[in-house]
Amino acid sequence: MGTVTLGVSIAVPEPYGSLLQERRASFGDPAAYGIPTHVTLLPPTEAEAADLPAIEAHLSRIAAAGRPFPMRLSGTGTFRPLSPVVYVQVVEGASACSWLQKRVRDASGPLVRELQFPYHPHVTVAHGIEEEAMDRAYQELSSYEAAWTCGSFALYEQGADGVWRKIHEFPFGGGGSAPAVPVQGGSSMDEPSLHP
Q: What is the DSSP letter of 172?
A: G
CA angle 49, 121, 44 (to 5 degrees): 20
Distance, in Å, from the CA atom of 54 to the CA atom of 111, rounded to the nearest integer, reads 10
pTM score, whole prediction: 0.85
pLDDT tens for 148-173 read: 999 999 999 999 999 999 999 999 99
pLDDT in tens, the chain (196 residues): 699 999 999 999 999 999 999 999 999 999 999 999 999 999 999 999 999 999 999 999 999 999 999 999 999 999 988 889 999 999 999 999 999 999 999 999 999 988 888 899 999 999 999 999 999 999 999 999 999 999 999 999 999 999 999 999 999 996 544 443 434 444 332 333 333 3
pLDDT of amino acid 187: 33
Sheet holding 85-92, edge to edge: 122-127, 85-92, 69-78, 145-150
pLDDT of amino acid 116: 84
Q: Label residue 174 left, alpha or beta by phi (over 0 means left) and psi (-120 to 50 means alpha).
A: left
Nearest to 172 by CA among 147, 194, 150: 150
pLDDT of amino acid 1: 67
Nearest to 120 by CA among 78, 148, 157: 78
Distance, in Å, from the CA atom of 178 to the CA atom of 161, rounded to the nearest integer, reads 29
pLDDT of amino acid 183: 41
